[in-house]
Structure 1
Amino acid sequence: MDNNQFWQQVTDELAQLPLQLTLTPLAVEVTNGEAFSMQYQSLGGEIIHGLYLQPKSSQPTPVVIDFLGYLTQIENPQQFSHWLAIGCGCLVIDNRGQGGATLDQVPYQTVTMPMPLGRGLLTPEDSYLRRMVADQLRLFEVLENLPLLDASRVYLHGNSQGGGLALMVNSLSPVAIQGTFANVPSQSNLPHRIAAATGSYGVMKEYLNTHPTDQKQVLQTMAMFDIRHYAHLIENPVWASVATNDITCPMVDFFPTYKRLAGPKQLTVFWGKGHEGGGLKRLTQEIQLLKEIM
């Protein structure tokens, strides 16, 4: 099965599931807008928990879909209120099984390990990554149900795992993406990431150390989720950043993806920095850039 067929099957499976979207106003004060707790259904009937921020506006506003890093969670709406300050709505979810409100309860058929990326390693259909990407793709259906967000003005943002997810979702999106901000991105050049046991992919190296005969299956599975195989589909602008001393998501592993991006692109290198990359300084630059674009 090729990449297109695989993701079409995922899309078809999602289409058979009622969205069951619920929004609950949060009793917290958010500057420049309102905050809602958000839940919807995704693969396996799992309920995905997230956050919806809406600027104070009577007209549809642009929206930023923000993607979380590995094993990080939504703590409070203020984490994302900077998007409200420039007139953007925001959607963000807790990735399933990564310590937040979204669980990962559907049993795996092949491999089950405590760390999320160690689950379902032997087939793309069973992979944890299939579930995680599908949960994010379903946000575009959520968008259709939020009339105060403009689905023609969607921007993607993420750091680390979130940066890789932003690029993957960009390539698979059913709507035109206006731009993507991807910082110290993961999910690129996965055979090397696994061999070098860097960051979250160390769990796969750990598995192969004790199951070396499964290497071919694991690498074939991960090829379906390696963003370097999807970069040529991204024609909108991409602003990416890497750091020279990043040993979690080494910049050398992002270069194969960056070279294949088909649209306008810009790469910022933070010299002497580790996985924190440009940190708050970088986010401030991105907010200002998006404000100018809009």
Structure 2
Amino acid sequence: MALFDLPADQLRNYRSGTAEPPDFDAFWDKTLTETRAHPLAVTFEPVDTPLTGVRVWDVTFAGYGGHPVKGWFTAPADATGPLPVVVQYPGYNGGRGLPHSWGLWPLAGYAHLAVDVRGQGGGDTPDPVGSAPSTAGFMTRGVEHQDTYFYRRVHADAVRAVEAARSHPLADPTRTVAVGGSQGGGITLAVGALVPDLAAVAVDVPFLCHFERAVTITDANPYGEIGRYLTVHRGAEGTVLRTLGYVDGVFFAARGRAPALFSVGLMDDVCPPSTVYAAYNAYAGEKRIEVYPFNRHEGGGAHHEAVRLRWVGEVLGRG
């Protein structure tokens, strides 16, 4: 894939012209109030693993609707706390996977929660909420209205994940960081807006941003799911885009206040660079972006993990 989006000088200043829903804040206040009406009901069950340098807990907490959400909580084996805690959200169709996949942060001296996205294949958390007709995937589940849309539940779960992580005896709630790439980056933007006292957020090649542009310049999945839905549901563009506006990372970014590290691949046809810059340029807090000119959706890969690890340490005064 060669460069296909706007030239670099235009990307640096690119902004979305899409109007946000007038009741955006009221919608999310209502969603979180309804979610918090259910007890958090968090449990941490110790897990016996061969990871001698890391302790692992099997986590369950109540997300949207009181539905159980799973995760892995890990910490250095000899830690006594309090530790800064990193909450990490997965990419599309990812999840908590297996505990040994999450060694980076505890090896660096952090507590870490790897959390599922309900219904997606990489985890252990179902989505018990049904859906009207949709295309294959998750992007159009309940897209007829913001109240029924899939990512309303996902973002509410993500906020509760922060609350669950902060409740662990080893966690220092004042040093909580949210991180994620692709879908996880879009979720991180939402959490950064909905949890106002985070210490930092790291947003890598974020998905779920500037839908109005994304669905017209790429047919790669997952944005392609929306286009396929609209090929069948002719004339539903206004309804669909209105619903997507309630989960658009650009509007969450405008409410973010924690220091933020973004990343973008300029040849990324999954999350086009202009959609990433739309969120980055809207971000209201202190921010920095790492640009990978010849990379696609992998962004900076392991190289960027090292950049992110050092940046988080610097923000928390550990670097």
For normalisation by structure 1, the TM-score amounts to 0.94
2:93 pairs with 1:51: no
Structure 2 match to 1:263: 285
Count the aligned residue pairs. Answer: 292
Look up the match of 2:120: 98
1:3 equivalent in structure 2 = 24
Does residue 195 of the first structure (1) align with residue 216 of the second (2)? yes
More helix by share: 1
Tell whether the 8 Å contact from 1:244 to 1:270 is kept in structure 2 after alignment: yes
User: Shift of residue 59 of structure 1?
Assistant: 2.5
Task: Tell me what 2:104 maps to.
Answer: 82
State the distance in 1 between where 2:304 and 2:46 align.
31
**Counterpart AA for 1:123:** H
**RCO (CA 8 Å, sep 6+): is it higher in 1 or 2?**
2
How do 1:209-220 residues align onto structure 2 when only pairs under 5 Å count?
Answer: 209-220=231-242
Structure-to-structure mapping, 1:199-278, within 5 angstroms: 199-278=221-300
User: Which residue in the other structure is 2:200 paired with?
Assistant: 179
Q: Which moved more, 1:24-33 or 1:248-257?
A: 24-33
1:15-72 Cα deviation digits (max 9, x unpaired) = 2112222222111133543101111222234221111112332231100011100012
Structure 1: gaps of 5 or more residues: none
8 Å contact from structure 1 (residues 124, 130) kept in 2: yes
SS in 2 for 1:35: strand
CA distance in 2, matches of 1:235, 1:105: 33
Superposition pairs of residues 4-23 of structure 1, within 5 angstroms? 4-23=25-44
Q: How does 1:109-120 map to 2 (within 5 A)?
A: 110-120=132-142
Task: Confirm or deny that 1:40 pairs with 2:52.
Answer: no
CA distance in structure 1 between the aligned counterparts of 2:243 and 2:275, rounded to whole angstroms: 18
Identity over aligned pairs, percent: 28
1:70 counterpart residue number: 92
What amino acid is the match of 2:230? L
1:107 has 2:118 as partner = no
| Aligned counterpart in structure 2 of residue 147 of structure 1, from 169, 180, 199 | 169
What is the CA deviation profile of residues 73-129 of structure 1, one whole-angstrom value per residue up to 9, with x for unaligned ones? 323222221111221101121111111211112212x44443111200111100001
Report the Cα distance in structure 1 between the residues aligned to 2:165 and 2:306, rounded to whole angstroms: 26
C-alpha separation between the residues in 1 aligned to 2:225 and 2:84?
Answer: 38
Q: How much has 1:277 moved relative to structure 2? A: 0.8
Distance in 2 (CA, whole Å) between partners of 1:229 and 1:187 is: 11
**What is aligned with 1:24?**
45
Deviates more, 1:249-258 or 1:282-291: 282-291
The answer to whether the 8 A contact 1:199-1:247 is kept is no
- 2:105 alignment partner, SS class: helix
Alpha-carbon distance between aligned partners in 2 of 1:29 and 1:265, rounded to the nearest angstrom: 39
> How far apart are the structure 1 equivalents of 2:215 and 2:149?
15
Cα 1:23–1:72 shift into 2, 3 Å: same
Matched, 1:166 2:188: yes
> Does the Cα contact within 8 Å between 1:21 and 1:39 map onto a contact in 2?
yes
Answer with 247-256 or 283-292: which moved more: 283-292
Quote the residue 1:286 is aligned against: 308
